[in-house]
Amino acid sequence: MSPRKNTSKRSRGKAQPAPEERNIEEIGLSFSSTEEHADGIYEVRKITGSSSTKPYRCPGCDQMIPTATPHIVAWLDYDIESRRHWHTPCWKKKGQRTPRTERSRNAPRY
């Protein structure tokens, strides 16, 4: 007895359509957007977990973004060198953050 086929009889005879050719730039821009913040206009790109192959350090919380974790890459519109990888919640709260003040353990909070 031969093994069972997982396709129906109707679909066996039909040829599969060839995948459409897509421009690489169009694919890259499909997840990109532009956001305006107090310090400038940012290009923002959402990165899926499957395309994230390296760990990065988030500038918002100073914690590691593990490999295969969805996150955001953002850079100033005119400066590609300012590109940084952010946790999604850290990026959303970027405008609400205040500068952190380094204090000693027993220092007053004022």
- Does residue 29 belong to any structural domain of this protein? yes
User: Per the domain annotation, does 69 fall within a domain?
Assistant: yes
Number of domains in the chain: 1
Is residue 9, in this structure, part of any structural domain at all? no
Asked if residue 37 belongs to a domain, the reply is yes
Is position 50 within any domain? yes
Asked whether 34 and 56 are in contact (CB, 8 A), the reply is no
Residue 15 included in any domain: no
Q: Does any domain span residue 1?
A: no
Predicted confidence (pLDDT) per residue in 29-66, tens digit = 447 899 998 888 999 999 988 888 889 999 988 899 99
- The pLDDT value given to residue 39: 86
CB atoms within 10 A of CB 43: 19
76 within a domain of the structure (yes/no): yes
Give the residue numbers spanning the domain of 60: 25-95
